[in-house]
Amino acid sequence: MRAIVQRVLSASVEVEGRVVSEIGPGLLVLVGIRDSDADSDADYICRKVLNMRLFPNEKTGKAWDQSVMQRQFGVLLVSQFTLYGILKGNKPDFHVAMPPQEAKPFYACLVEKFRKAYTADLVKGLIWMLEAKMYLRLSLILLESKHLAEVHALNLFHGLHLSLLLRMYLSD
């Protein structure tokens, strides 16, 4: 399982011009589910995301000192199979992503894990989407459960606002 974690002042997801989910300050988490992922992968991602110290401590002024739970901020989880995409020549291949008929219930269980481990009202999941628009700043942290000791920090264009078009696929 992969999670791209984005600290946000606010985040919302639009589908067909309608806001389907939103949070105030907190974390936007893009979640990629691999075909071989198990419950232990979801446990790891949930624990790490909720406990990562990504926010400043307002009392001490210390940066990178408090977790989303300590600050009582929101978490928006977005399933994103393209995190397991690879290029074969010029064509994307998603064969290692979990198929949608398995990924949908797995994602729902992940959202429920977050809600049980934290405050249910502060955790937002999404319906399975065909197309969504999000605005975010790219200062990202990539977590991968298969390499538990590795955390990759991607500091790309910090503060730049982008509109991302996320294409999700639906099963019948």
Catalytic residues: 82
Helix axes 39-51, 100-117, angle to 10 degrees: 40
* CA separation for the pair 139, 153 (Å, rounded): 8
CA 16 to chain centre: 21
Q: In whole angstroms, what is the distance from residue 8 CA to residue 139 CA? A: 10
- C-alpha–C-alpha distance, residues 149 and 144, integer Å: 9
- Report the distance separating Cα 101 and Cα 78, nearest Å: 17
Contact between 1 and 32 under an 8 Å Cβ cutoff? The reply is: yes
Which residue, chain included where needed, has tokens 């009392």?
A: 59
Distance CA 28, CA 4 (A): 8
